[in-house]
Amino acid sequence: MYSNTYQKVASKCDEFSPFEQNDVFSNAVGETSVSCVNCEHFDSNHCGLDLYDKIVNEV
């Protein structure tokens, strides 16, 4: 699975919740990407809310 896919999924995910919110929202083009790997629901390479598998089929 490519990290690029994580970004696509997170950009379509309503539950995306980044670990470092200040960085994300104070920096429009910051280094902290909208990506599952930066999401607090992402655990052990798996979405804790089971949304990844649903969304990935749409991206």
Q: Which residues bind ligand SF4 (CB under 6 A)?
A: 9-10, 13, 15-16, 36, 39, 41-42, 47, 49, 51-52, 55
Beta partners for 46? 43
Cα distances (angstroms) measured from residue 27 to each of 7, 21, 40: 17, 10, 19
Residue 16 CB, shortest distance to ligand SF4, in Å, is: 4
Residue 20 CB, shortest distance to ligand SF4, in Å, is: 14
What length does the chain have?
59
Instruction: Provide the 3-class DSSP secondary structure of residue 4.
Output: helix
Nearer to ligand SF4, 22 or 48 (CB): 48
